[in-house]
Chains A and B, each alone.
Chain A
Amino acid sequence: DQQVKQNSPSLSVQEGRISILNCDYTNSMFDYFLWYKKYPAEGPTFLISISSIKDKNEDGRFTVFLNKSAKHLSLHIVPSQPGDSAVYFCAAAISSGSARQLTFGSGTQLTVLP
């Protein structure tokens, strides 16, 4: 049961270029999406989120795009920096109703090469 899927386990990008991390979901009840970043030996830290009423949310170098019809979201990092190297988790939630926990994808290891 993989309601949230990140099909690319790893991604390498040159410093200064754009990093695009992708995420697909199957549960149409999800109406809120988040990206978490995780460094080794640390817990996931919140990065950026988007509600299903929007199709784009931007915060500095980070932009999340949501395509509801395709049940797809992506995280764009531009320009990429070596400090962005981490595992990025996509997560989804249902903001109303009884199910309020986060459903995570399996993560994508981003490596930004200097």
Chain B
Amino acid sequence: EPEVTQTPSHQVTQMGQEVILRCVPISNHLYFYWYRQILGQKVEFLVSFYNNEISEKSEIFDDQFSVERPDGSNFTLKIRSTKLEDSAMYFCASSKIWGITPSGANVLTFGAGSRLTVL
């Protein structure tokens, strides 16, 4: 079963530091996503990415956040200057096609997540 892998599984950082979370999507998937879940809250959409550019982003995804596909396999989320409220579980996901089709053909496959703790 192909899977999305994420590293690190847990990162602890000081407020104001830069953090890069890494993801290896499923190899034949073309669309990539980052979601996050603050402890005790719902999973929230951050950004979607296709063809080396951002397709959609939420209001959470401000100038402190950036995404990149530096090579053919990795997909990264960078937080330039972390804040306490950035502490969350960050999930990477990928999909073969864009969005949800009426037939339900598309399903996002999620990684296990990277837990970020900002002190």
Interface residues of A (CB under 8 A from B): 2, 4, 31-32, 34, 36, 41-46, 49-51, 53, 89, 91, 93-95, 98-107
Contact = CB atoms under 8 A, between A and B. Distances in A.
Size bin of chain B's contact surface: 20 to 34
Nearest to A99: B56
A100 B43 contact: no
14 contacts: A31-B102, A36-B110, A41-B9, A41-B112, A42-B113, A43-B110, A44-B91, A95-B100, A95-B101, A100-B48, A101-B45, A102-B35, A107-B42, A107-B43
A95 B101 CA distance: 6
A21 to B, nearest CB: 15
A54 B44 CA distance: 26
Contacts of B101: 95
Interface of B: 4, 6, 9, 33, 35, 40-45, 48, 56, 58, 91, 93, 98-104, 107-113
B44 A104 contact: yes
A2 B42 CA distance: 9
Contacts of A93: 99-100
A36 B98 CA distance: 19
The binding surface of chain B is classed by DSSP as loop
The binding surface of chain A is classed by DSSP as loop
Nearest to A103: B45
B108 A102 contact: yes
Contacts of A91: 43
Given A99-B56, A101-B33, A101-B56, A44 B43 contact: yes
A25 B100 CA distance: 17
Contact of A32 (B58, B104, B109, B113): B104
Given A100-B48, A101-B33, A105-B42, A43 B91 contact: yes
A2 to B, nearest CB: 8
Given A98-B56, A104-B42, A106-B42, A49 B98 contact: no
Nearest to B59: A1
